[in-house]
Amino acid sequence: MPSHSPVPLRHDWTRAEADALIALPFSDLIFRAQTVHRAHFDANEVQMSTLLSIKTGGCPEDCGYCSQSTHFETGLKATKLMETGEVVAAARRAIEGGASRFCMGAAWRSPKDRDMDAVCDMVSEVKALGLETCMTLGMLTREQAGRLKEAGLDYYNHNVDTSPDYYGKVISTRTMQDRLDTLAHVRDSGMAVCCGGIVGMGEGESDRVGMLLLLANLPRHPESVPINALMKVPGTPLGESAPLDGLDFVRVIAVARIMMPRSVVRLSAGRDFMSEELQALCFLAGANSIFIGDRLLTTNNPKKDKDDALWAKLGIKPMAPMPLADEVSGTR
């Protein structure tokens, strides 16, 4: 149960404030993040989500981290869009595995209008199972966002990935402005926004802060903020990136928690190579959602028995599904 007074929401964070936050002594930073976290969430609850790649590989974009781009030789086999029945079967398995949220991802630059009927069917059928639904299909037009909302989609995931300054070092086939345009279409449709990025792509601390400032100073905070640690994929331009310092990663989570107090901060990609201790620090820093299940989209995630043992050691309980209706009307 939340145990402190609510923290006011701000959309006017300055660079100097954010730089000072990320540079705090570690214990001070974690204490601030915990205080904010406990004002809005039960600190022992974590939302369990499962990911499914509904269309894998063959993507025309050149995101330098991604196994699914046709620009790089990663050995990944491209597939067609899955049938709705297969997606529903995977969603049932996700429920049996303990998930309350189901995120469907497609390796598209943007959905073709002819794909919209199929993805909308998937949304309605998965939602009918009682799962919170999220999709990530690339850039959306205003009309496509409206159709997904109508089909019942709760969240749309579209990441800014990194700071505006570092963006051009990672992706050349679409701009940061393209991403912001899609995010505006999602926001205007009434769906909740899931938007975050990746740490460990060779960016500096000022880029990490730049990304968090961009997110926290949007007119509304994304309801969900995934923070991914780079999964290094051999064959991609970022496949040989320098190792990410675990404590630096925890700092990004803590600053995200402090700047976006009511958002769900998602410890996304990267748990498979994190120790139990590092994951525990991420939860202490305010992360309260994760992906469970052996696979993310194309890379590995911890096995269920290993995860279950960690939840038992940490006393973590799965979060019940969160109502969204009034959140979308303006509390974050």
Q: Which residues are catalytic?
A: 59, 63, 66, 103, 134, 194, 266
Helix, strand, coil content of the chain in percent (nearest 5) = 40, 15, 45
Residues near ligand DTB, by CB under 6 A:
51, 67, 103, 105, 136, 157, 159, 196, 226, 228, 231, 268-269, 296-299
Half-sphere exposure of residue 225: CA atoms within 13 angstroms, side-chain side: 30
Is residue 69 at the binding interface for ligand SF4, with CB under 6 A as the rule? yes
Residue 164 has a CB neighbour count (10 Å cut-off) of 16
Per-residue exposure over 15-27, b if at least 16 CB sit within 10 Å of its own CB, e if not: eeebeebbebeee
The full length of the chain comes to: 332
Is-contact 140 191, C-beta < 8 A?
Answer: no
- Show the site string, 31-60: x = touches ligand SF4 by CB under 6 A, - = not: ----------------------------x-
Quickly tell me which residue has 């006017």 as its tokens: 12
The residues in 82-141 that bind ligand SF4, with binding defined as CB under 6 A, are 107, 138
3-state SS string for 205-258: HHHHHHHHHHHHCCCCCCCEEEEEECCCCCCCCCCCCCCCCHHHHHHHHHHHHH
Residue-wise DSSP of 47-60: EEEEEEEEE-S-B-
Out of 21, 48, 63, 233, point to the residue binding ligand SF4 (CB under 6 A). 63
Q: Which does 103 bind (CB under 5 to 8 A by kind): ligand DTB, ligand SF4, ligand SAM, none?
A: ligand DTB
Q: Which does 69 bind (CB under 5 to 8 A by kind): ligand SF4, ligand DTB, ligand SAM, none?
A: ligand SF4
Taking the complex as a whole, how short is the minimal distance between the CB of residue 189 and ligand SAM, in angstroms?
A: 16
Is residue 230 at the binding interface for ligand SAM, with CB under 6 A as the rule? yes
Binding site for ligand SAM (CB under 6 A): 59, 65-66, 105, 107-108, 136, 138, 158-159, 161, 197-198, 228, 230-231, 233, 269, 297
Binding site for ligand SF4 (CB under 6 A): 59, 61, 63, 66, 68-69, 107, 138
